[in-house]
């Protein structure tokens, strides 16, 4: 009776029923949505905990080299809380233009150094190279003064992305975790206060894998994406350093780990001292052959690629490899400019200080930095190989 008074007609009862049904649906839907929200909130909480634990681990283990705020410490360690570490370029258009001009320049210079390039083509190339140099210097003048403060702390404006400059193709997370696990055993060669240590217990360090992941979460949390400002860049106290001899860092690391952790000394350019050191070393002509033909890198991880210029064909950039030793011991030593030289001395000097004597008919085109890119053993092996070129 009472019911009938409240909802008197059948139509009204149906309407109420529909409303009740819809209300139940909304309620269920809300619960379902909220369940997702709770999951997300839970994950966020986990992530926040990882970052928090990472912060604690960073404060205990890392700040003495990477700085309290992760912005680096001069000569101790590079900034990680750093736009360059996260690949943010403040002048992407200029970087791209400079890269493409440099690529064009390298191609033209290679073409110019070929014996087969005609004089007419060479003057065309020279004209273009001059234009390129002016454009390059204009672009740098536009950009670099704005970055000077960072450049003073080691920033290279042409390398705005740390991982890309190392040729790293994986994720940033993998980069951080790999670095933490193994450390950078060779980096003591160019960081005066010591290398980046290995942290994982598997590599003899103090940290568990979950702690390394927490540290990675903490470091990644510094990323500001598109929000990085020049003020952030200028706050970095030390930027990453390029490895000593310019060889790709990762190759160096692999080689160093394979050889038990001690990076050998480069041979240098003191020819008299090198000749003395060579007396105590036996050269392996087969390895020399492999180094010469770029089938193996030097003990310093550098690609020597001698054969690239010393082609067997007549139109190589440098004298052909065949007969090098015969020419050295007969033709070259007959030149009054080389009076008193031994063949070995001539070969060593040709490799370490190629500008001292330029073979007649050739340009002074040989690279001048081999003394920094090979060890005494590498040199001994190459000389032993060249000594077999005696027909």
Residues forming the site for ligand HEC (CB under 6 A):
58, 61-62, 64-66, 76-78, 80, 85, 162, 176, 179-180, 184, 187, 191, 194, 196-197, 199, 215, 240-241, 249, 292, 304-306, 308-310, 317-319, 324, 327-328, 332, 347, 350-351, 354, 357-359, 362-367, 370, 382
Cα gap 368→67, rounded to integer Å: 38
Which CB sits closer to ligand HEC, 28 or 209? 209
Please list, residue by residue across 374-387, b when 16 or more beta carbons sit within 10 angstroms of its beta carbon and e when fewer do. Answer: bbbbbbbbbbbbbb
Nearest to 301 by CA among 101, 102, 116, 166: 166
Look at the alpha carbons of 243, 245, 247, 250 in this order and tell me if their dihedral is positive or negative. Answer: negative
The residue (of 95 and 345) whose beta carbon lies closer to ligand HEC is: 345
**Rounded-to-integer distance, Cα 163 and Cα 125, Å:** 34
Q: How near is the Cβ of 239 to ligand HEC at its closest, in Å? A: 8
Q: For the chain, how far is it from start to end, CA to CA, in angstroms?
A: 124
State the CB neighbour count (10 A cutoff) for residue 247.
20
CB of 148 to ligand HEC, least distance (A): 21
Q: How far apart are CA 208 and CA 147, in angstroms?
A: 39
Gap between the Cα atoms of 145 and 140, Å rounded: 8
Q: Residue 26 or 59: which CB sits closer to ligand HEC? A: 59
Shortest gap between Cβ of 288 and ligand HEC (angstroms)?
9
Minimum distance, C-beta of residue 78 to ligand HEC, in the bound complex (Å):
5
| Least distance in angstroms from the C-beta of 66 to ligand HEC | 5
Q: How far is the CB of 242 from ligand HEC (least distance, A)?
A: 8
Whichever of 301 and 319 has its CB closer to ligand HEC, that residue is 319
Nearer to ligand HEC, 135 or 368 (CB): 368
CB of 306 to ligand HEC, least distance (A): 3
What letters, b where the CB count within 10 A reaches 16 and e where it falls short, cover 157-189? bebbbbbebbebeeebeebbbbbbbbbbbbbbb
Q: What is the largest CA-CA distance in the chain?
A: 132
Nearer to ligand HEC, 98 or 347 (CB): 347
Which residue, 90 or 191, has its beta carbon nearer to ligand HEC?
A: 191
């Amino acid at each position: 009776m009472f019911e009938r008074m409240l909802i008197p007609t059948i139509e009204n009862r149906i309407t109420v029923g529909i409303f009740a049904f819809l209300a139940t649906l909304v309620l269920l839907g809300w619960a379902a949505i909220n369940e997702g929200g709770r999951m997300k909130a839970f994950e966020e909480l986990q992530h926040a905990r990882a970052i928090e634990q990472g912060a604690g681990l960073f404060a205990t283990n890392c700040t003495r080299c990477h700085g309290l705020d992760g912005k680096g410490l001069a000569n101790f360690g590079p900034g990680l809380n750093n736009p360059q570490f996260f690949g943010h370029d403040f002048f992407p258009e200029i970087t791209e233009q400079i890269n493409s001009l440099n690529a064009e320049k390298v191609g033209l210079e290679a073409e110019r150094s070929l014996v087969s390039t005609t004089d007419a083509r060479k003057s065309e190339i020279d004209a273009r190279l001059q234009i390129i140099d002016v454009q390059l210097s204009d672009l740098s003048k536009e950009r670099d003064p704005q970055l000077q403060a960072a450049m003073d702390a080691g920033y290279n404006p042409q390398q705005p992305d740390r991982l890309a400059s190392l040729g790293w193709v994986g994720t940033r997370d993998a980069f951080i975790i790999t670095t933490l696990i193994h450390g950078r055993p060779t980096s003591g060669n160019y960081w005066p206060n010591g290398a980046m240590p290995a942290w994982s217990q598997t590599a003899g360090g103090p940290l568990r894998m979950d702690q390394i992941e927490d540290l990675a979460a903490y470091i990644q949390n510094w990323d500001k994406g598109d929000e990085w400002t020049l003020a952030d860049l200028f706050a970095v106290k030390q930027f990453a350093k390029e490895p000593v001899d310019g060889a790709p860092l990762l190759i160096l690391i692999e080689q160093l780990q394979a050889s038990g952790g001690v990076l050998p000394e480069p041979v240098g350019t003191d020819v008299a001292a090198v000749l003395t050191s060579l007396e105590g070393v036996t050269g392996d002509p087969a390895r020399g052959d492999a180094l010469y033909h770029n089938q193996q890198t030097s003990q310093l991880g550098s690609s020597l690629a001698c054969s690239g210029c010393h082609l067997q064909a007549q139109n190589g950039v440098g004298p052909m490899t065949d007969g090098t030793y015969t020419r050295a011991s007969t033709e070259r030593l007959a030149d009054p400019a080389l009076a008193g030289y031994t063949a070995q001395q001539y070969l060593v000097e040709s490799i370490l200080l190629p500008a001292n004597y330029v073979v007649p008919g050739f340009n002074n085109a040989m690279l001048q930095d081999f003394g920094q890119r090979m060890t005494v053993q590498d040199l001994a092996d190459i000389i032993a190989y060249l000594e077999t070129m005696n027909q």
